[in-house]
Amino acid sequence: MARRLGGSIREREEPVSPAILFLFAPAGQANDSRMMGAFVVQMVLILGIVYFLLIRPKVQQEKKHRERLAQLKRGDEIVSVGGIVGEVVHLKDDRITIKSGEARLVIQRDRIAEIRAAGASEAAPEGTKAS
């Protein structure tokens, strides 16, 4: 029965239209436009909250990261998406050569997760010893 039910659900996949929201409108008289207006205002507020709490901060964070990638230069320390930490040795279009330990690696520019200032790992806090 699960297959039969699952098959029928897959067959009926249709794009959801914004008009479906009116199905959740509060029940009332057909001429009562105040209730419908209140519902529309509630939906707009919910969408606005979602936008300002979830979508907008992520877009701003991605924009800052793209700007930092564009300003990348030799000597900067980076962390790749895979966790490899290295120093930028050579820049070329969308590929970057980094030195990590004794190895040199070529990675794609968009695979950089974090950019640290040049020499950030060498500067130890005053109270600790660098080993």
Residues 29-86: pLDDT tens digits?
Answer: 555 677 788 888 999 999 999 999 999 999 999 999 999 999 999 999 999 999 999 9
pLDDT on residue 127: 47
Which residues, at least 6 apart from 111, have a Cβ–Cβ distance to it below 8 Å?
Answer: 80, 81, 82
Coil vs helix vs strand at 52: helix
Residue 103 in contact with residue 119, Cβ under 8 Å?
no
CATH at 85? 2.30.30.100
Q: Is 124 domain-assigned? A: no
> Are residues 28 and 64 part of one domain?
yes
pLDDT on residue 120: 54
Q: How many domains does one find in the chain?
A: 2
Residues 78-118: pLDDT tens digits?
Answer: 999 999 999 999 999 899 999 999 999 999 999 999 998 77
**For residue 21, what are the domain limits?**
2-68
pLDDT on residue 119: 57
> Are residues 19 and 60 part of one domain?
yes
pLDDT on residue 114: 93
Dump strand ranges (E) for the chain.
77-80, 85-92, 95-100, 103-108, 112-116
> Are residues 79 and 22 part of one domain?
no
Q: Is 122 domain-assigned? A: no
Q: Is 126 domain-assigned? A: no
Would the pLDDT of 130 be above 70? no
